[in-house]
Structure 1
């Protein structure tokens, strides 16, 4: 006889999560489903980051539209509303002379407590950085889960087929051998060691996965990642003594506490 403790059902990435971490299903009420990339902060307010084609329905949404977690394909409905579309960068279609740099959007959560700053398996983003060739990176997505791989190249202009919306051309994208599949769009790419945001997954093929540069996403949306928040804000937000944040540990104490469920 062996005592194993209380046995609980394992939550799937396609389930409803409250509070919701990065790496799970999310979507505009008229799409199928993508991935909740992570929380970010705009003017100090917590937001959810994912793709335009996940949260803004390929430019066809209106600001204030409902966002479901999980996404509609995974059973999401009005009862699963997690927030509303707050902002997005429009995608230019069918114009090879005007390439896009990003496919990104923001959702404003109905209740900030419903969304965690951590990403499944990956802790919290400690900031952002420019990508480097051969850099070991990792992502956490709705469909293929957590994977790691090196950055293999930066693209020139590439054509992405968005179905009925047409062809969108993108320039200066990050390419990896990362395993990905439908529903992983919106996953945040982090440096494996430092946990800094490097890219935002939005497309792929059987042999390559394509990411926007996180620095460009942040610039165009006007956002900061969790680890870029001023220490005073973190102290006030999570009621952590200043001496804890003064330690040069990349907020490891705070991150561990969040993953243990001590903070929202």
Structure 2
């Protein structure tokens, strides 16, 4: 099901979708985002490129006022489709949870029938192939490990728990190419990579604050289980402090400075990222996998790229993210920060949010560029 190349919405369609579907004062009913995807018919992808509009739940067109109906096509002729994704939330572990991936206070969500069920089924062929590999013990990724492999429980002492995505390092001194070529220097520092809301408590944790492995919810204590200290993060802009239409969020990412011997790039049960992929080469239909604190190793497919979507961060507010990847559901609360890769371990993105239907992922190219770190020496 690999999609067409060029996984981006045209500028005119993006402007129209933002102004018509997510207008500041009166967005379309239930709309939480849009992206580049495929048209679906009778619960199956047709392969035709489309602007996919994400809604919390589908409502029969006959029950909607005309102003809330998504047009059959954009002004430039690109067809549209509507997919119910439920309530999309940042996926740090919640102390009280309801259905998988959604905080208990938000209630449950059963999807929209055919399309949601088909999205879940897209990952089944990979799961069948991997059954013979066995399964992980549920508690394995919630315990203390040194050196700490990627994919296990971690978090700032101010939060519950998320996932250690990978070990990264500063761009090599003297590097003149992007990515750096061989023999161009020695990394000056090493970091654990995860989300802002996992390592920096949604912008609120001070620089140098303790990060423990496992996370506090899983029994981690400072200083006994300290693995890193908060070094830097990309600020997330939240509403109501900043209106959604003025936000420019692209990544939810942070770094904790770590000693070389205390953590490793090896993904638990999954191998080391051997390269990273530019966002222009990430396509609808691509297979993906991740290892995370809560759901261990899981597999899925990309259903949308170039996505704009509103994410609920609870008490911190709501944040609108642009230029995101949406996959079938491969995560739950506590998986935030997981590195998402191709089946052959090429890094694609950083998981940070989701629902019972989809998972939302930052492009690794954006994470790498904004934090000025390297995750793998090769570009794939």
TM range (shorter): 0.7 to 0.9
Is the Cα–Cα contact under 8 Å of residues 194 and 254 in structure 2 kept in the other structure? Answer: yes
Whether 2:198 is the aligned partner of 1:54: answer yes
Deviations 1:91-143 (A, max 9, x none): 0011212230000000101x210111211122111121122111111100000
Matches of 1:228 and 1:28 in 2, distance apart?
30
Deviations 1:157-212 (A, max 9, x none): 2111111111111011100013211000000000112x111010000001000000
Pairing of 1:47-196 with structure 2 (within 5 A): 47-78=191-222, 79-94=224-239, 95-96=243-244, 97-109=246-258, 111-129=259-277, 130=279, 131-193=282-344, 195-196=345-346
User: Any gaps of 5 or more consecutive residues in structure 2?
Assistant: 1-136, 172-186
Whether 2:166 is the aligned partner of 1:38: answer yes
C-alpha change, 1:145 and 1:11, in structure 2 (3 Å) is closer
Matches of 2:306 and 2:359 in 1, distance apart?
11
Is the Cα–Cα contact under 8 Å of residues 99 and 168 in structure 1 kept in the other structure? Answer: no
Alpha-carbon distance, 1:10 to partner: 9.7
Matches of 1:11 and 1:228 in 2, distance apart?
33
Match in the other structure for 1:243: none
Whether 2:362 is the aligned partner of 1:209: answer no
Alpha-carbon distance, 1:213 to partner: 0.5
Match in the other structure for 1:235: none
Matches of 2:368 and 2:292 in 1, distance apart?
20
Report SS of the residue matched to 2:275: coil
Match in the other structure for 1:218: 368
Deviations 1:9-30 (A, max 9, x none): 9971000001100010000001
Runs of 4 or more consecutive aligned structure 1 residues displaced over 4 Å after TM superposition = none
Name which one, 1 or 2, has greater alpha-carbon Rg. Answer: 2
Which range moved further: 23-32 or 220-229? 220-229
C-alpha change, 1:159 and 1:122, in structure 2 (3 Å) is same
Matches of 1:24 and 1:156 in 2, distance apart?
28
Match in the other structure for 1:244: none
Is the Cα–Cα contact under 8 Å of residues 169 and 374 in structure 2 kept in the other structure? Answer: yes
Deviations 1:205-260 (A, max 9, x none): 0100000010000000001113349xxxxxxxxxxxxxxxxxxxx9xxxxxxxxxx
Alpha-carbon distance, 1:40 to partner: 0.8
Alpha-carbon distance, 1:155 to partner: 4.8
Which range moved further: 175-184 or 204-213? 175-184
What TM-score do the two structures reach when normalised by structure 2?
0.56
Q: How big is the alpha-carbon RMSD for the aligned residues of Structure 1 and Structure 2?
A: 1.8
User: Any gaps of 5 or more consecutive residues in structure 1?
Assistant: 1-8, 230-249, 251-264
Matches of 2:349 and 2:164 in 1, distance apart?
14
Whether 2:153 is the aligned partner of 1:25: answer yes
Matches of 1:38 and 1:14 in 2, distance apart?
16
Matches of 1:227 and 1:182 in 2, distance apart?
31
Matches of 2:311 and 2:138 in 1, distance apart?
35
